[in-house]
Structure 1
Amino acid sequence: MAKSTMADAYRALASIATRLHGSDGNVDDTFELVVAAAAELVGTEVSWLSLTDDAGTLLRPAVLHSFRDSSFTDFAIPVTEGLGGRALREKRTVVVEDYPSYIDPANPDSVWEALHAEGVISVMCAPMILRDKLVGALYVATRTPATFGSADIALLGALASQATVAIENRRLYRGLETQNALLEQSLTVHRRLTQASADGVGIAGIAAILGDLLGAAISVDSTLPGVEVVSIGVADGVGATSYPIRAGAEVVGSLTVFGVGRLTPSQRQAVEHGVTVLALESVKLRSQWEIEDRMSADLLGDILDHDQLSTPTPTIARRAARFDVDISEDFRVLVIGAREGTDATPLAASVLRTHSLTGLLYTARAGNLVVALPGSRVAAVNRIVTAVREGLRSDGVEAVFGIGSLGSPRDSYVAAIACFRLALAGRYRSQTLDAVAVSYDELGPLRFLLDAADIEQTERMVLVRLSPLIDHDATHSVQLLPTLRAFILSDGHYERTAAALFIGTTTLKYRLGKTLEKFGIDARDPDVRFELRLAFELLSLIETRITPS
């Protein structure tokens, strides 16, 4: 085959360069053009292109030109062997004009035999080197003896360089495709997780989306009190990797991925963005709780300090409605503390949140937790006592409970404080609750004071408080003692008291005013009402134990 002119060579090289410039990463056609041009421009019958595998360890024929036997593509040799290996070692184009007699220990016999069968006599190999690594080799060969000059060597080297550029373009294009795919996946991950957080699906909802994005079983464990472990999918027990969920320097939880040995780039992005969104969700949740705790504490403090004998202010009623609490209901108040004198308030409050005990109000007073339950939720008392007792016990703290009456928040609080002090002092255990507790309802008329055979001391306490009223009623037509008793037993409600006595509220208020004016007994004071209630209950019990003389 006659060699082309230099002008032909320039045109061929320019054509290949133009194709490379407009390549979209599919370079197979370019390789075909380079191999055909090599045979034509150098003037050989045979030409071929070999490329290394992805690991860069084996060299395998990829494009053949004018071969009689296409099975030559089945050969794969180490990059250090054959003419390609020699070209790599010497960093130059290798020329062998008499291949049948060519002897090189690094040249595999199988390759020599295949080329000999093709009738190859003279062969030239130009290495394709990229960043000091062999990525391929371009060969031309004749079936008759031939001599290759410097121009042939330069031309084959130029064509090999263009084939190397094609390989680099393919690598760059594939890298760009991968980056674009990762970017699109990252945007998808970002959109789904961010939207989920904005929609308020919570940690569990975000975990569900993250499990779907990863295509794996996961679990999310939070350090926040009240947040249970969220598990998505079924862990098969094969491999587990945990990633910390950090909010700044603070670890607020962990994400565990099951059954995935090595994360793909898209999975790694999902994990990185997932732990960030989970951290933000944790911070948001904790801030929300802090605000709710502060609002609940402020509200209950205002309620306890509010004069319950008058109508609650609209502001307090609206604030209570935000917690799904009707301020017009009766309440039962619990005072929760610790025998050791430690401040158990934070721990007890976290227990309430852990057990999702909602629809109640709580605040801290004197190192104790004060919990107010509306009458419609008083069945939760047992659940609260059990949960807090176990929660504090796990931290080595013994909880003490005082459980107030069912009535106005202030009255119930006064009773709860008295019961708490009794429990704290005497280690009384509730009759119905497995806890160190005193319940107002279980006390009745302070039976623990009346267990003794002699009730003289109790009688003196009752008479000191009530005898002035008894003496007054003995000489006056207006009976103050029954009026005061009915008012106390109705928890200070004017309308109920008046209805029970068959008098008007004006008359009732007049009589109560007399008790304040004459005897200094202010029945509007919750502390006074609590004391009088106990006195009246003791009086009832004393009366039942008095036998006619």
Structure 2
Amino acid sequence: MEEFLRRLLSARSVGTAAQAAVDTVRTALGVDISWSGVITDGVLTMAAHSGLRTSRMPATWRLPLGEGIGGRVAAEGRALAVRDYRHDPRRAPVMKSLIDEEGMRGALCAPLVHGPEVLGVLYAADRRARDWAPDDFHLVTGLARDTGSAIHRICEVEAASRRSAQDRRLALDARRGLLVATEVAAAMVRSDDLGAGLGVLAHTLGMPVELAGPSGEPLVGQPGADPEEPVRFEVDLGDEPMGRLRVRGGRDLNPTERDLLGTTSEIVALHLLRQRAALRSELRVYAEFLDDLFEGRIDDRPGLQARAALLGIDLRVPRHVVCLGVHTAGPGEGRFIGPQTLDRVERAMHSRYPKAVVVPRSGDVLVLLPPGTEDSRQVHRSLQELVRVRPGTPDTLAAGFGRLCTDVDEYIDSYAEASLALDLARRRAAPGEVLSPRDLGLYGLLVRSSTRQTMESMVGRALGPVLAADADGGPEYVKTLRTYLTNDRHLERTAAALHIHPNTVRYRLARAQELLEVNLRDPDDRFLLELALRVQAALEHG
């Protein structure tokens, strides 16, 4: 990213800036092809490319706005992805032969933007079908946004150089802005410290500059800055957003300074994306370690303890396993914890337990509490405060925690208990529930007396025919049974929860009973069926 910023900020032509983005996309994503188009008179024309096999495509590629994938991106100002061009009806017929000649299949396209203005598009393409990850979208849209800002400024500089002396002064201001932006980027890259870059910007403006969180709380700023000074400039960083760049002071900013802040805000956003990518890479290492720990892959106990030590975890000291997730109030589809809620959970957990390990996992959050949290009642109170319903929060939460682990072998059972406790807590009518091992009852006995394989075998014996039917595109027998039993066998409430007609519920229940050879009026059959459904849900959650 440092090389990209240097090339981008030193570019003096649209083609040079576009080539910097094209080369960076191809290297960062490992794609076969990358190219960039700019808008001229309502048509996209190629400005830079890398990885093309033929000379025909760069010579003849012309795409009117609104046509094909790139034309739609340019017209709508939002990124689009294609898993396989061969089966995508959106591609423009006039481009079909060029695409097929290059053998392109998977593609990701983002707009080159400056504020609300779309200046062109940035493509990443593979010669194989590809499912694009959210990180791919963030990277390409961030690069495209930075490149759009650079192209806008290059065009301003070129236009200003053709105007009067007064206009040339504007060009000089723009060049100075580019130099300042370069210094900001270099300071952050050299020190890997966002505060260093904000310090350069604050010195240039003569005004305090701070980074605030998505909800507005100050995160990074200058020592001694007065938080009561009025905010003169504020802009969101990134699409989510990841934070806000804020300037305080006793005067208004001039247009040149606002333009400078617009450019540097994109650089700061790219730096935050880079930090996030590094954090996610670190979290993947944690996730792989936890998979081995919780799935019982501990044949090499010294090796596992050595890996834990490298991650700052001492498995010899007692810990609780905690699972947190979004409250669903019934058997409906689960939801992933969103970025803002994840940030809130991490900050709250680290505020109370600085050495806690907090890792996103399967859409939920998994926590290894540090030593000193042996009192399960205190753990319960802390988690209740964390998941307490607060006005304005995007997600309502539930939590479960497992037994205290005093030996490596106990982490398997503690995680199984925490996972099942979360599954039960998130289905309670009211959000904010926290369940412990003592709340699991019969389900806890099942977890403690069974391996995952035996539980999967039990589920297979009890639900096999309907699971197979659902897998073959059947009418959601498992979901219907679970909703019916959760609603105390009330037909109309079940139909309303599933958004289907009561007669459809009757048919599904009758067919499920035939497949399973059970009678839902029989208490023993109902008990075994509900137990299997609960265990199956807990296994899926884990």
TM category (shorter chain) comes to 0.3 to 0.5
Determine which structure has more spread, i.e. the larger CA radius of gyration: 1
TM-score under structure 1 length normalisation: 0.39
